[in-house]
Amino acid sequence: MAQYAVFIYEAEIPGGWDNAPQELLDAHEAFPGKVEELGGKILNGLALQPAGTAKAVRAGAVTDGPFAEGKHSIGGTFVLEARDIEHALEIARFVPVHDGGVEVRPLFDAPEEG
């Protein structure tokens, strides 16, 4: 099966995850089961600290904050194994997001060693 990076973009929850609605927390807990039910597999994932904790490097200069600033920032990412892009998008529709959305990108296939 093919592999896809799924990037979760969302607005920060005022007061952080301690103030997240219970429905959102429940949806995050149920999501891996939904992926499995749909025939996909999460290979690994990362939850990120708030965008304000980021540092960016441009032309050797370090600045505070994320590389791209806006209302929505990357809150996490995971690698998804799916049959094809349509299947990956079907699964991505169920990613729980607080005020935002997701981006799905195919990963490069590793070259065969021979």
Q: Is residue 112 scored above 80 in pLDDT? A: no
Q: What is the pLDDT of residues 39-85, one digit of tens each?
A: 999 999 999 998 889 999 999 999 998 888 888 999 999 999 999 99
Q: What is the pLDDT of residues 15-44, one digit of tens each?
A: 888 899 999 999 999 999 999 999 999 999
Task: Please report whether residue 112 resides in a domain.
Answer: no
| DSSP codes of every residue in 2-68 | EEEEEEEEEPPPTT-GGG--HHHHHHHHHHHHHHHHTT-EEEEEEEPPPGGG-EEEETTEEEES-SS
Domain tally, the chain: 1
Q: What is the pTM of this model?
A: 0.88
Task: Please report whether residue 26 resides in a domain.
Answer: yes
Write the CATH number for 15.
Answer: 3.30.70.1060
Q: What is the pLDDT of residues 80-92, one digit of tens each?
A: 999 999 999 999 9
Task: Please report whether residue 35 resides in a domain.
Answer: yes
Task: Please report whether residue 6 resides in a domain.
Answer: yes
